[in-house]
């Protein structure tokens, strides 16, 4: 295998997982060889037929219903990955990925973290299964970073490089804040403000919407996880389809602190989610204010173009961080890395 060639697996085929498979076709030297959801797994060590797998997940045996013209994932024991020609039903799809991990350089964990220790527990399984390679997640919660850091020695002994919070925020925007901070000798504040329009609505982004609802007053991860689809729709209706969030518990704060950029309490994260439109309700920005070496107080601002979708801003960076982490892993660098400590590879 060429040093630049990378094989990877995706755990979870909701909106983020499926788009990761799709985006991978535009990333040079990156080959998806496995994907799984809660009902099954598809593995082909020579490379999955991505278009066929996506079509099976979204269409199943009959044409899929659409939401605003966007195909959405079907949910059921005979739907999802199982419906693909390369798919097989499994009571333990993550275990099946681990069994095939000799052929896998990296794994993208594209699953919601409804239980704080879910992603760390999945990582434990890879350690116990003898995996040596890269794990990347797109988690959002600050408290999970500490759980992963507690496993750093185990990762190092296993030969695992774990990049945590490698999506949009935390991830892409955390990295942008780290770069913007380089003008300063002291960072006073980092403000991340995001706008997301979901073309396919709640049905195709269940995990994302529920994780965000958990930040609303009166909700937490447990209550959000236990909401019925009807209750989620009611919350969305109560907000007219557009929900604003402030002072979110996003891992950008601890990730910037562990990189030495600023104290965690200097970071604020908020944004606006439009569940019924593909138009962004507000522009995504990162604003870093600090003092320069010559005593000036200034602000650097990074702005994402409104034409870049959530799928593009999560999956492009996630796969870029994955590629960069594989290079680090092959060079013998193991343990836990944050998106402010590593630049993603294009």
Active site residue 215: yes
User: Which member of 215, 250, 280, 323 is catalytic?
Assistant: 215
User: Which member of 27, 39, 140, 323 is catalytic?
Assistant: 140
Phi, psi of 334 (to 5 degrees): -120, 170
Active site residue 250: no
Give me the pLDDT at residue 76, please: 57
Give me the pLDDT at residue 199, please: 64
Give me the pLDDT at residue 77, please: 58
DSSP characters for 19-50? HHHHHHTTSTTEEEEEEE-SSEEEE-TT---H
Give me the pLDDT at residue 309, please: 86
Buried b (16+ CB within 10 A) or exposed e, 234-259: ebbeeeebebebeebbbbbbbbbbbb
Give me the pLDDT at residue 299, please: 98
Given a contact cutoff of 8 angstroms between Cβ atoms, the answer to whether 2 and 99 are in contact is no
Active site residue 27: no
Find the largest Cα–Cα distance for the chain.
66
How do the pLDDT tens digits run along the chain, 346 residues long?
A: 456 699 999 999 888 899 999 999 998 899 999 999 988 999 999 999 999 999 988 875 454 444 444 455 555 556 788 888 888 999 999 999 999 999 999 999 998 766 778 999 999 999 999 999 999 999 888 889 999 999 999 999 999 999 999 999 999 999 999 999 999 999 999 999 999 987 655 566 667 788 888 888 888 888 888 888 888 889 989 999 899 999 998 999 999 999 999 999 999 999 999 988 888 999 999 999 999 999 999 999 999 999 998 889 999 999 999 999 999 999 999 999 999 999 999 8
Element spanning 177, H or E:
helix 172-180
Give me the pLDDT at residue 69, please: 46
User: Which member of 71, 149, 203, 211 is catalytic?
Assistant: 211
Sequence-ordered list of residues with C-beta below 8 angstroms from that of 110, at least 6 positions apart, any chain: 10, 11, 12, 13, 14, 16, 17, 20, 138, 318
Over residues 52-72, the pLDDT tens digits come to 999 988 875 454 444 444 455
Domain borders along the chain are 6-169+311-337, 172-307
Residue 113 vs residues 116, 122, 207, 263: alpha-carbon distances, Å:
6, 11, 8, 24
Q: CATH class for domain 6-169+311-337?
A: alpha beta
């Amino acid at each position: 295998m060429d040093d630049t060639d990378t094989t990877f697996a995706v755990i979870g085929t909701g909106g983020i997982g499926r788009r990761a498979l799709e985006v991978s076709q535009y990333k040079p030297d990156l080959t998806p060889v496995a994907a799984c959801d809660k009902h099954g797994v598809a593995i082909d060590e020579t490379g999955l037929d991505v278009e066929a797998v996506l079509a099976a997940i979204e269409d199943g045996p009959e044409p899929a219903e659409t939401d605003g013209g966007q195909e959405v994932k079907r949910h059921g024991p005979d739907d999802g990955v199982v419906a693909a020609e390369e798919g097989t039903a499994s009571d333990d799809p993550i275990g099946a990925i681990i069994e095939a991990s000799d052929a896998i350089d990296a794994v993208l964990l594209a699953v919601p973290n409804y239980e704080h220790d879910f992603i760390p527990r999945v990582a434990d399984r890879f350690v116990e299964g003898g995996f040596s390679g890269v794990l990347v997640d797109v988690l959002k919660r600050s408290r999970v970073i500490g759980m992963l850091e507690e496993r750093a020695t185990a990762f190092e002994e296993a030969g695992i490089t774990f990049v945590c919070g490698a999506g949009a925020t935390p991830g892409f925007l955390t990295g942008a804040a780290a770069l913007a901070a380089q003008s300063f000798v002291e960072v006073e504040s980092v403000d991340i403000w995001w706008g997301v329009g979901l073309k396919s609505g709640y049905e195709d982004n269940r995990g994302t919407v529920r994780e965000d609802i958990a930040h609303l007053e009166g909700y937490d991860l447990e209550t959000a996880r236990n909401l019925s689809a009807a209750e989620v729709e009611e919350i969305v209706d109560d907000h007219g389809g557009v929900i604003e969030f402030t002072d979110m518990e996003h891992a950008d704060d601890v990730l910037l602190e562990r990189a030495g950029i600023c104290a965690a309490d200097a970071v604020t994260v908020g944004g606006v989610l439009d569940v019924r439109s593909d138009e962004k309700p507000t522009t995504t920005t990162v604003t870093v204010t600090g003092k320069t070496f010559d005593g000036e107080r200034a602000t650097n601002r990074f702005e994402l173009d409104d034409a870049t979708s959530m799928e593009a801003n999560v999956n492009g960076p996630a796969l870029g961080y994955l590629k960069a982490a594989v290079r680090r892993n092959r060079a013998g660098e193991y343990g836990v890395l944050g998106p402010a400590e590593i630049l993603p590879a294009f």
